[in-house]
Structure 1
């Protein structure tokens, strides 16, 4: 009896696979789509952050006052350098309003406020990057599990058919290897994107920290000279 021909296309291998392998394949495909969505979202967010920081830096370099910068960039949804500036000025104004603007106390509170603002902005920049790391590290192993399961099924088919010909072995092995391929398809872009986006987030966080230090020094000078911002 001639065995029924197998469809070796990607769709055919998927449809002929065991339900466990199918579940793994679907999960890996969804993970890949999710990763690409995160990559697109974070890339756009980082490009927007760099553009906003560039505009802020140019305005700051032109000698605009802190109040003017805050009025221009400090909307209710401001992020990046504008959020750091807002945190510093908010603590400055609050301390003066409460007559608690002693030099040492105000410097300490401003530094704490700026550190918290930088941490919040850094967390916002790094949002969802952990998902890329998880998919990048776990994807190949999940795919490998599907491959092992599929090969187990292939050997079971060999035992049932009592035939070791390539026609009996090949379909199960091909279905199994497809799971590994999908695992790598999800993991490789995730790892590359995670490394790239993490480096970008680190550079943006450094700019936030550098501006926070400059702002703290500027407010400290104003405090020593007795001027208001």
Structure 2
């Protein structure tokens, strides 16, 4: 009988049963696998929700910007379109912050150079804050991607240690004795990779999307700043 045959006999089936591996594992290994499964579920929740959120933000931002540059009265446009469901739109927040600073700077004696600097600073601050807010949930993906494999490895090491302990207890080093414990232990590493791989891929992909969105928001702010600068020249 080959080693593979012995492994199949020890598992009680010709196929590995993940549920049986989990239930038969040592309590420490089960806790590790349970934690990794919960982390994996949360990772996929973030991946799906963040994907839908960014797609929605992109559509709303495109619609808002298209109408914004066509408008002749920015104050009226912002009063009409800057509230309601658009109130939390990053590009609308940039416009609101810039208009608020514009009103303060355009009263009394105008310092054109100082006003331009303040407008730039205000809009850059909003852009950075919005990008940071979007990227905040991605930190969990980075954490799972870097930690999950080591947590799974800890479960594997513990399971293998337990298997060697069983060898000493039973005075039997045959594969039929150690195979179940080793299978359960290796399953912990597999779950760790199952949680880490999509987390790493999702983090890299969504970080790129957030960076692209931030760059687009910054371009809008720069263009709006140029428009306001021309208005300042006319005052």
Per the normalisation by structure 1, the TM-score is: 0.91
Q: Contact (CA 8 Å) 2:102, 2:119: kept in 1 or not?
A: yes
Quote the residue 2:5 is aligned against: none
Structure 2 distance, partners of 1:224, 1:200, is 36
Distance 1:159 1:58, change over 3 A: same
List per-residue Cα deviations over 1:128-168 (Å, max 9, x = no partner).
10110110111111101110110000111111111111110
Quote the residue 2:88 is aligned against: 78
Quote the residue 2:208 is aligned against: 199
Quote the residue 1:153 is aligned against: 162
Q: Contact (CA 8 Å) 2:61, 2:89: kept in 1 or not?
A: no
Q: Contact (CA 8 Å) 1:80, 1:121: kept in 2 or not?
A: yes
Match of 2:43 among 35, 44, 54: 35
Match of 2:64 among 41, 56, 65: 56
Cα RMSD of the aligned pairs, angstroms, is 1.7
Quote the residue 1:188 is aligned against: 197
Match of 2:139 among 127, 130, 134: 130
In the TM superposition, residue 100 of structure 1 has moved relative to its aligned partner by 5.6
List per-residue Cα deviations over 1:83-112 (Å, max 9, x = no partner).
111110011112335x36321121111111
List per-residue Cα deviations over 1:27-78 (Å, max 9, x = no partner).
1001001111111121111011100111022113434432233123311633
Q: Contact (CA 8 Å) 1:100, 1:106: kept in 2 or not?
A: no
Distance 1:47 1:193, change over 3 A: same
The unaligned stretches of length 5 or more in structure 2 are 1-8
1:47 maps to 2:55? yes
Displacement over 6 Å in runs of 4+: none
The unaligned stretches of length 5 or more in structure 1 are none
Distance 1:210 1:131, change over 3 A: same
Per the normalisation by structure 2, the TM-score is: 0.89
Structure 2 distance, partners of 1:140, 1:94, is 54
Structure 2 distance, partners of 1:42, 1:54, is 18
Quote the residue 1:93 is aligned against: 103
1:111 maps to 2:83? no
Q: Contact (CA 8 Å) 1:79, 1:121: kept in 2 or not?
A: no
Structure 2 distance, partners of 1:42, 1:152, is 40
Number of matched pairs:
222
- Identify which range, 88-97 or 126-135, moves more after superposition: 88-97
Quote the residue 1:173 is aligned against: 182
In the TM superposition, residue 211 of structure 1 has moved relative to its aligned partner by 0.7
- Identify which range, 177-186 or 66-75, moves more after superposition: 66-75
